[in-house]
Chain A
């Protein structure tokens, strides 16, 4: 009876999955031009359960099951966005997004500039990313760094329940194509949302764990499911007497350079933690920019912890060995602090 009134005042505890769903539901309620389109988003409820129940609430016009035709339905989303709708396209996992790469790169990212600013592509594409669920090499990769290579896209990587809850609204309000990478391991993560927070920005990195009394020894720069690993590492390091800042990038394109440089200027050391492959990765980009702009602020070489350069294996011990681990982060931080 009193539950409706209570729900507005009591801080809400929810999963990342539920946060994604509430964000979509809000968007559908707020704007009749918005609809969800993708494989199994309707009757099945989404491969990872994000859209469960939305077909019943909004009907097949707003929750559109598609055939398995990534390049086709992403292209339809781009055309629909150019002509006035606000589609949310779901790609089941980012490995499948390669089938739509032509549309994403050659049309969505290109047409606004190539048309001299005559057409915008206000499209949101959500996709699941990352390993850790033993799904093998064709369902477990982290390709967000690739997309962050492409001018004309915005690339978001929510690493917290709060961002999962509130990034979508900002992405839909943006006149550009925005890709949101939701990490499959995070879907079950739970958090209590601050009831005062009603929105987030999609421009800035966020300092998740700050130094004490202005002192910090190392920056852990990360995003997505490597964020909880870095927070864990920071706690362990604290008990070892090392103060770590944890910077959640949140937005992989455009990168919040200022936040990265600020953190490293405070700590003079950094470990970049990225679930993508190391070669040509977003971690490589960050390291290069630090070398270009903050070289003389560093007291130790830049360290990187990335996925091992293999197709993600199925067996549990192999997959675990291929992914960044908390122990790796702790070890690298120790090494950097000891080195001078």
Chain B
């Protein structure tokens, strides 16, 4: 793969930092609302992994598609899903992304081609291959970005999808967020090959390992991958690309996790690699951001969050009369007409 040229100007660095901060602060707000019992159910937070969503989404275009997991708030925000609608979904409101039917784990947004948070580990992988197949056949020039954790590689469907995507040269960017634990099982206790990128290579897929704590490294790799896929779609020589992003989840797996499986020391070691702190301090010491600019970003995110919480709190509940609506669709959804027009 040729290395993409990423213009790391001041504005772009600001964008990456702001995106990661938005995600971090959104998650912190979710914890608060969870403790206040405004958010219920399972809640999986993205703290520590923000560089991946921010980096990959910077490499995508509007026509591209995204498939994510149950830990997908970060991807949704970075993709441009409205924070208001996302927060309303967290709180089970009708104004949420999925009318409050999906919750934290099932964010869908047709407008940004966000094909869901999928809570069956590995369940999104063949969907992504199928979306890519449709985009390729319908000549949309689009790439599907498919996020999943390293836990997914234990599933048969991971291997089925690797093979199908490479066999049929489907324009998919696979992004493995390797945070070293599938819930509480260390990856090294669960798999004989812990370099996930090597598994993809076995399927003759172009693959590499990336520092998932560095948004610039992620974006450079993602952009090179997306460009090479896009350039080659037309001559049927695109094929997927696989990025293994090494990362770490700072918080518990979900809100019901005592973290008996890892040490405080280990968490602390990784916290020193915090992608936000690292980028921020680099930018400060290299005169890429001023205190005043940082304060302004903070204030803007504060305002956006306050707005989102107020929007969600003021939201309504889906009428019970609609409970069974969309079990069977009576017509094509808006998304289909919209897809057709692309």
Contacts and interface: CB of A to CB of B under 8 A. Distances in A.
B109 interface: yes
B168 to A, nearest CB: 8
Contacts of B135: 83
Interface string B244-259: 0000000000000000
Contacts of A33: 137-138
A85 B157 contact: no
Nearest to B96: A116
B102 A116 contact: yes
A85 B140 CA distance: 13
Contacts of B96: 116
A81 interface: yes
A326 interface: no
Given A72-B157, A116-B98, A152-B328, A82 B164 contact: no
B101 interface: yes
Contact of B130 (A67, A69, A79, A119): A79
A114 B134 contact: no
A111 B125 CA distance: 15
Contact of B126 (A79, A112, A119): A79
A118 B101 CA distance: 12
Interface string B317-335: 0000000011111111111
Interface string A86-102: 00000000000000001
A116 B97 contact: yes
A71 B157 contact: yes
A118 B109 contact: yes
B106 interface: yes
Contacts of B328: 112, 152, 154, 176, 254
A181 interface: no
A10 to B, nearest CB: 38
Contact of A72 (B67, B110, B163): B163
A258 B187 CA distance: 55
A115 B329 CA distance: 12
Interface residues of A, number: 41
B340 A84 contact: yes
Contacts of A176: 328-329
B233 interface: no
Contacts of B116: 111, 114-115, 119
B333 A117 contact: yes
A85 B137 contact: yes
Contacts of B330: 175
A73 to B, nearest CB: 7
B108 A114 contact: yes
B329 A114 contact: no
Given A75-B125, A79-B127, A102-B157, A120 B164 contact: no
A79 B128 contact: yes
B33 to A, nearest CB: 21
A69 B203 CA distance: 15
Contacts of A75: 123, 125-127, 129-130, 157, 161
Given A117-B329, A120-B336, A175-B332, A71 B126 contact: yes
B99 A116 contact: yes
Of B65, B110, B161, B327, most A-chain CB atoms within 10 Å: B327
Nearest to A72: B160
A66 interface: yes
A194 to B, nearest CB: 30
A79 B157 contact: no
Contacts of B157: 71-72, 75, 102-103
B206 to A, nearest CB: 20
B32 interface: no
A78 interface: yes
A311 interface: no
A302 interface: no
Contacts of A119: 108, 110, 115-116, 333, 335
A80 B135 CA distance: 8
A111 B333 CA distance: 12
Interface of A: 33, 61, 66-67, 69, 71-85, 102-103, 106-107, 111-120, 122, 151-152, 154, 175-176, 254
14 contacts: A33-B138, A71-B160, A72-B160, A75-B129, A75-B157, A76-B127, A80-B134, A112-B333, A113-B326, A114-B98, A117-B325, A117-B326, A119-B108, A122-B336
Given A72-B163, A78-B130, A103-B123, 10 more contacts: A66-B164, A69-B160, A73-B164, A76-B126, A79-B115, A83-B138, A84-B336, A112-B327, A114-B102, A119-B108
